[in-house]
Structure 1
């Protein structure tokens, strides 16, 4: 009975990584959007994929020029550098008062009320599934599960990471690079993650993308990769101290498993910032990864790794079909 239910839940249309009506494609496979302040003026909202009152974020599925788009809207955090202007240039609208407590709506100048906006265009079914709010399940993946379930699934995917290669080859985002070690074996490129507006160090978020290709995730790492990981840890911390005056003791440095894309990369975030995916179900401290590999060079080949997947995720369906997940 459970097996039939699993097949029914996983019988969604085959996932695709190419937009149905993509037009104006550039040489790297992306669509050109008209630059300027009116990019989203013609957006037709189709659905709210997810929203979070705690994170003050909403993710919208819409259409631009006939193609699907995902738009992520996030309220920017406060900055102490703008507090004086915030207090002197804003207007208070009274709401209520009770004893020593009173509440107001603060009408602030437009430039102090910006919304961090990320646009994914053209968006694929994979993007929509990634951002849509779903019921979550905890998967416990053994080394054998990885070989028999996860790896075949990854190898069957055609989801492009051309954008990663564009960064490494300086075909895109070259002006955003904070630091680069060009060594083909232990080198990496460090640049801001799109989630960071680069205006406040309090929500600092950078990504170190390795130059070496063929390392998909944590599962591929062995003792031979220790020089690479140690180089990222050492030089990444040095670069962030130099550029942002943030010491290593105020950084959270980790890898995701499962990652959002299968080319090895390391996350550097401000310890004060609760970045998406920095929790126990997904994040692995880089320092812990290094120590584990020093103790056992094959640690991540055999270790059982736990991670969270959302309902409708293709990999989750594979675990259900294999009878490796209790979901009823």
Structure 2
């Protein structure tokens, strides 16, 4: 699937990569095939994420990394996020061997997210959720971090990439995730975004939403196999992140062959079918839901939730969200 981003936007996005100046390596993962670099573009902070077969991570190679790229092609741009295909060598007679994501300008939260850090397992009870996590989510939503999501929902960006859409109070849309190169089927990664803004995460799902969730599941699967006829429904898996990266409800649709890295691991990903089953069997009326159960997941030690909520709770200190 090829993006039809307006040429002037694509040209601007593509001009940013050679201007990237390395500050430091944040992380490397997936057996050394993915690196996260912190740097600057025109004196503003930026994060550059890149994937390939293997990366040399000595400082000499990293310093010249962004200027060594050729044939940079923008796939899309939305708010502070841009994504590209590129060649790591000067020759361009072969298919691009790099997938790049650029976050510019980036925030301290982005830097923490992509930095190497220790992990902690936490259990979020209904009481912890109501007292601390829900107010934390409210703060994040008020900081404008969902602008890129609202750009898509309101039709300002990425409309050429929308695969399927239903409008209305229970509307939703399907489009490629920015981490997919949009052509390699075994690594397919799509995103289902809901239009409604009252469901921030899996915690907001209730028994009354079961019919709607099942409808979305069927439509997302149908639209995916229709666009990619080489796929069958049982080659796809649907999951939800908790904690999610951003607090607007969304569903990940991926090929079962996609390497199950940390984003699909236990402690991060919840299978959509398992959530539906849990909602169907939970005790209570239509208003009973995922806010009434305890959820166990992992957090990075540099994350705000660990530093502001769970570490103080562990040490018996007062939680300060401000």
After superposition, the C-alpha distances for 1:220-245 in whole angstroms (9 at most, x for unaligned) are: 11012112211111000000110012
The alignment's TM-score, normalised by the length of structure 2, stands at 0.77
Structure 1: 4+ residue segments shifted above 6 A: none
**Cα distance between partner residues in 1 of 2:123 and 2:20:** 40
Partner residue of 1:308? 298
Cα separation, 2, equivalents of 1:160 and 1:238: 31
Task: Give the structure 2 partner of residue 285 of structure 1.
Answer: 271
Which of 231, 241, 263 aligns to 2:248? It is 263
- Give 1:210's aligned residue: 194
Q: Which moved more, 1:50-59 or 1:301-310?
A: 50-59
TM-aligned CA deviation for residue 34 of structure 1: 5.3
Q: Within 5 Å, which residues of 2 pair with 1:104-115?
A: 110-115=93-98
C-alpha distance in 2, partners of 1:249/1:33? 36
Check whether the contact 1:180–1:188 (CA below 8 A) recurs between aligned residues: yes
1:64-110 alpha-carbon deviations (Å, 9 max, x no partner): 01111110001179xxxxxxxxxxxxxxxxxxxxxxxxxxxxxx965
Measured at CA, do residues 196 and 76 of structure 1 come closer, stay the same or move farther in structure 2, by a change above 3 Å?
farther
Which residue of structure 1 aligns with residue 206 of structure 2? Answer: 222
Specify which structure has the bigger relative contact order, considering alpha-carbon pairs within 8 angstroms and separated by 6 or more residues: 1
Q: How much does 1:309 deviate?
A: 0.7
Q: Which has the larger radius of gyration?
A: 1
Partner residue in 1 for 2:136: 153
2:96 and 2:11 map into 1 onto residues whose CA distance is: 24
From 289, 304, 311, give the equivalent of 1:320.
Answer: 311
Query: Are 1:43 and 2:20 counterparts?
Result: yes
C-alpha RMSD of the superposition: 2.2
Q: How does 1:229-248 map to 2 (within 5 A)?
A: 229-245=213-229, 246-248=231-233
Given that residues 190 and 254 in structure 2 are in contact (C-alpha distance below 8 angstroms), is that contact kept between their aligned partners in structure 1? yes
Tell me the alpha carbon deviations over residues 266-325 of structure 1, each in whole angstroms, 9 at most, x when there is no partner: 000000002541111111111111111111252412211111111121111211112379
Residue 157 of structure 2 is aligned to residue 175 of structure 1: no
**Partner Cα separation in structure 2 for residue 37 and residue 162 of structure 1:** 21
Partner of 1:213: helix, strand, or coil?
coil
Report the equivalent of 2:58: none
5+ residue gaps, structure 2: 1-8, 55-90, 317-322
- 1:6-21 to 2 correspondences below 5 Å: none
Give the Å deviation of 1:174. 0.5
Alignment equivalent of 2:117, drawn from 114, 131, 134: 134
Q: Which moved more, 1:42-51 or 1:52-61?
A: 52-61
Q: Give yes or no for contact 1:76–1:116 (8 Å, CA) kept in 2.
A: no
Conserved? CA contact 2:239–2:269, under 8 Å? yes
* Secondary structure of the corresponding residue to residue 196 of structure 1: coil
Give the TM-score, by structure 1 length.
0.76
